[in-house]
Structure 1
Amino acid sequence: MCGITCILSLSGPNSSQHANGSLNGAPKEPDTGLAKVKKELDASMAQIKHRGPDSCGDWISDDCRVALGHVRLSINDLNPSGSQPFNAPSQGIHAVVNGEFYDYDRIRAELEKDTDYHFTSRSDSEIVIALYLQHGLNFVEHLRGEFACVLWDERRELFVAVRDRYGIKPLFWTVQPDPAKAGGRRLLVAAEMKAFLPLGWEPQWDVRSLKDAGWNHDTRTLFQGVQKLRAGHYLTCQSFGHIEERPYWDSSYPDKRTIDPRTPEELIEGVRQRMLESVRLRLRADVPVGVYLSGGIDSSVIAGMVTHLVKEQNVSMGSAPADERVTCFSIAFEEDSGFDESSIANRTAEWLGVKYIKKLMNEEELAKRFEDAVWHCEQHNADLNFIGKYALSEVPQEAGYKVVLTGEGADEIFAGYPLFLPDYLREPDMAWEKHNPLTEDGRLANLHSAEEADQEHYRSIGAQASTGELSIARRMLNGISTVASMTAFQPDVFADWTEKEHTACDPQMTIASNPDGVARHHINKNWHTLHSALYVWSKGHLPNIFLTCLGDRTEMAHSIEARTPFLDHKLTEYVNHLPPSTKLRWLPGEERFVEKWILREASKPFITNELYERKKHPYSAPTKYPRDGPMHQLISRLITRDTVAELGFVSWEKVAGLVDAAFGEKGEAKALRLALVVAEWVVLGRRFGVQAAAPVRC
Structure 2
Amino acid sequence: MCGISCILSLANDASHQHTRDLPNGTHGDAAKPNGKRERLEEELKASLEQIRHRGPDATGTWISDDCRVAQPTNASPLPPRLALGHVRLSINDLSPEGAQPFHSPANTPGIHAIVNGEFYDYDAIRAHLEAVTAYPFTSRSDSEIIIALYEHYGLNFTDWLRGEFACVIYDERKQLLVAVRDRYGIKPLFWTVQEVKDQRGKGTGERRLLVASEMKAFLPLGWEPEWDVRSLKDAGWNHDTRTLFKGVQKIRPGHYMTCQSFGRIEERPYWDASFPDKRTPDLRTLQELIEGVRQRMLDAVRLRLRADVPVGIYLSGGIDSSVIAGMVAHLVKEQNVAVGSAPPSDRVTCFSIAFEEDSGYDESAIANRTAEWLGVKYVKKLMNEEELARRFEDAVWHCEQHNPDLNFVGKFALSEVPAEAGYKVVLTGEGADEIFAGYPLYLPDYLREPDLAWAQHNSLPEAERAQHLQLAEEAAREHYRCIGADAGDGAVSVPRRMLNGISTVSSMTAFQPDVFAPWTDEVHPACDPQMTIASNADGIARGHISKDWHPLHAALYVWSKGHLPNIFLTCLGDRTEMANSIEARTPFLDHILTEYVNNLPPSVKLRWQPAERRFVEKWILREAARPFITQELFERRKHAYAAPTRWPRGGPLYVLMTGLVSRENVEGLGFVSWEKVGGLVEAAFGPEGDARALRLALVVAEWVVLAKRFRVRRAEAGG
The CA distance in 1 between the partners of 2:380 and 2:30, in whole Å, is 63
The CA distance in 2 between the partners of 1:590 and 1:666, in whole Å, is 35
Amino acid at match of 1:6: C
The CA distance in 2 between the partners of 1:93 and 1:296, in whole Å, is 45
The alignment status of 1:70 with 2:73, answered yes or no, reads no
Amino acid at match of 1:633: V
The equivalent residue for 1:95 is 113
> Once the 2 structures are TM-superposed, how far is the Cα of residue 28 of structure 1 from its aligned partner?
7.7
> Once the 2 structures are TM-superposed, how far is the Cα of residue 444 of structure 1 from its aligned partner?
1.3
The equivalent residue for 2:26 is none
Pick one of 174, 185, 188 that aligns with 2:210: 188
Contact 2:57 2:89 in 1 (8 A): yes
TM-score (norm 2): 0.95
The CA distance in 2 between the partners of 1:78 and 1:17, in whole Å, is 42
Pick one of 648, 656, 680 that aligns with 2:670: 648
The CA distance in 2 between the partners of 1:179 and 1:87, in whole Å, is 32
Contact 1:100 1:145 in 2 (8 A): yes
Pick one of 163, 175, 195 that aligns with 2:193: 175
The CA distance in 2 between the partners of 1:496 and 1:467, in whole Å, is 25
The equivalent residue for 1:84 is 100
> Once the 2 structures are TM-superposed, how far is the Cα of residue 476 of structure 1 from its aligned partner?
0.4
CA distance 1:260–1:462, change in 2 (3 Å): same
The CA distance in 2 between the partners of 1:356 and 1:383, in whole Å, is 26
1:341-380 pair list within 5 angstroms = 341-380=363-402
Pick one of 603, 607, 610 that aligns with 1:581: 603
> Once the 2 structures are TM-superposed, how far is the Cα of residue 645 of structure 1 from its aligned partner?
1.2
- 3-state SS in 1 of match to 2:258: strand
> Once the 2 structures are TM-superposed, how far is the Cα of residue 461 of structure 1 from its aligned partner?
1.2
Amino acid at match of 2:671: F
> Once the 2 structures are TM-superposed, how far is the Cα of residue 184 of structure 1 from its aligned partner?
2.0
How many residues align? The count is 692
> Once the 2 structures are TM-superposed, how far is the Cα of residue 17 of structure 1 from its aligned partner?
8.7
TM-score (norm 1): 0.98
More off after superposition, 577-586 vs 495-504: 495-504
> Once the 2 structures are TM-superposed, how far is the Cα of residue 33 of structure 1 from its aligned partner?
1.2
The alignment status of 1:60 with 2:63, answered yes or no, reads yes
> Once the 2 structures are TM-superposed, how far is the Cα of residue 182 of structure 1 from its aligned partner?
2.5
Pick one of 384, 402, 417 that aligns with 2:424: 402
Amino acid at match of 2:426: V
The CA distance in 2 between the partners of 1:14 and 1:121, in whole Å, is 40
The CA distance in 1 between the partners of 2:258 and 2:635, in whole Å, is 48
The CA distance in 1 between the partners of 2:615 and 2:17, in whole Å, is 66
The CA distance in 1 between the partners of 2:30 and 2:214, in whole Å, is 38
- 3-state SS in 2 of match to 1:31: helix
The equivalent residue for 1:23 is none
The equivalent residue for 1:566 is 588
- 3-state SS in 1 of match to 2:165: strand
The alignment status of 1:159 with 2:177, answered yes or no, reads yes
> Once the 2 structures are TM-superposed, how far is the Cα of residue 16 of structure 1 from its aligned partner?
3.1
Q: Deviations over 1:28-71 (max 9, x none)?
A: 86821110000000000000000000000100000210110000
1:500-519 pair list within 5 angstroms = 500-519=522-541
The CA distance in 2 between the partners of 1:89 and 1:680, in whole Å, is 47
The CA distance in 2 between the partners of 1:616 and 1:662, in whole Å, is 26
> Once the 2 structures are TM-superposed, how far is the Cα of residue 15 of structure 1 from its aligned partner?
6.9
Contact 2:20 2:32 in 1 (8 A): no
The CA distance in 2 between the partners of 1:29 and 1:624, in whole Å, is 61
Pick one of 383, 403, 406 that aligns with 1:384: 406
CA distance 1:17–1:120, change in 2 (3 Å): farther
- 3-state SS in 2 of match to 1:16: coil
1:99-248 pair list within 5 angstroms = 99-178=117-196, 182-248=204-270
- 3-state SS in 1 of match to 2:559: helix
Q: Deviations over 1:361-413 (max 9, x none)?
A: 00000000000000000000000000000000000000000000000000000
The CA distance in 1 between the partners of 2:31 and 2:428, in whole Å, is 54
- 3-state SS in 2 of match to 1:692: coil
> Once the 2 structures are TM-superposed, how far is the Cα of residue 504 of structure 1 from its aligned partner?
1.3
Q: Deviations over 1:332-357 (max 9, x none)?
A: 00001000000000000000000000
Contact 1:18 1:62 in 2 (8 A): no
> Once the 2 structures are TM-superposed, how far is the Cα of residue 11 of structure 1 from its aligned partner?
2.9
- 3-state SS in 1 of match to 2:127: helix
The CA distance in 2 between the partners of 1:354 and 1:102, in whole Å, is 25
The alignment status of 1:444 with 2:462, answered yes or no, reads no
Pick one of 36, 39, 55 that aligns with 2:39: 36
- 3-state SS in 1 of match to 2:463: helix
Q: Deviations over 1:446-495 (max 9, x none)?
A: 00000000000011112111252211010000000000000010000000
The equivalent residue for 1:484 is 506
- Say what the alpha-carbon RMSD is for the aligned residues: 1.5
The equivalent residue for 1:22 is none
Pick one of 321, 333, 338 that aligns with 2:355: 333
Amino acid at match of 1:4: I
> Once the 2 structures are TM-superposed, how far is the Cα of residue 178 of structure 1 from its aligned partner?
3.5
1:9-20 pair list within 5 angstroms = 9-12=9-12, 13-14=16-17, 16=19
The equivalent residue for 1:611 is 633
Pick one of 432, 451, 473 that aligns with 2:454: 432
The CA distance in 1 between the partners of 2:4 and 2:478, in whole Å, is 44
Contact 2:10 2:206 in 1 (8 A): yes
- 3-state SS in 2 of match to 1:343: helix
Q: Deviations over 1:577-628 (max 9, x none)?
A: 0000010000011110000000000000000000000000000001100000
> Once the 2 structures are TM-superposed, how far is the Cα of residue 417 of structure 1 from its aligned partner?
0.2
* Structure 2 segments unaligned to the other structure (5+ residues): 23-28, 67-79
CA distance 1:601–1:559, change in 2 (3 Å): same
1:284-323 pair list within 5 angstroms = 284-323=306-345
1:513-528 pair list within 5 angstroms = 513-528=535-550
Q: Deviations over 1:159-182 (max 9, x none)?
A: 000000000000000000145882
The CA distance in 2 between the partners of 1:227 and 1:27, in whole Å, is 31
Amino acid at match of 2:195: P
The alignment status of 1:499 with 2:517, answered yes or no, reads no
The CA distance in 1 between the partners of 2:614 and 2:463, in whole Å, is 15
The CA distance in 2 between the partners of 1:488 and 1:556, in whole Å, is 29
The CA distance in 2 between the partners of 1:637 and 1:380, in whole Å, is 17
Contact 1:93 1:129 in 2 (8 A): yes
The CA distance in 2 between the partners of 1:18 and 1:117, in whole Å, is 42
Contact 1:9 1:178 in 2 (8 A): no
Contact 1:423 1:533 in 2 (8 A): yes
Q: Deviations over 1:175-207 (max 9, x none)?
A: 001458821211000000000000110000000
The equivalent residue for 1:556 is 578
- 3-state SS in 2 of match to 1:175: strand
The CA distance in 2 between the partners of 1:29 and 1:152, in whole Å, is 24
Amino acid at match of 1:588: P
Contact 1:451 1:467 in 2 (8 A): no
The alignment status of 1:661 with 2:683, answered yes or no, reads yes
Contact 2:240 2:532 in 1 (8 A): yes
- 3-state SS in 2 of match to 1:434: coil
The CA distance in 2 between the partners of 1:48 and 1:562, in whole Å, is 17
Contact 1:18 1:34 in 2 (8 A): no
- Aligned-pair identity (%): 75
The CA distance in 1 between the partners of 2:445 and 2:291, in whole Å, is 27
> Once the 2 structures are TM-superposed, how far is the Cα of residue 27 of structure 1 from its aligned partner?
12
The CA distance in 2 between the partners of 1:328 and 1:93, in whole Å, is 40
Contact 1:467 1:484 in 2 (8 A): no
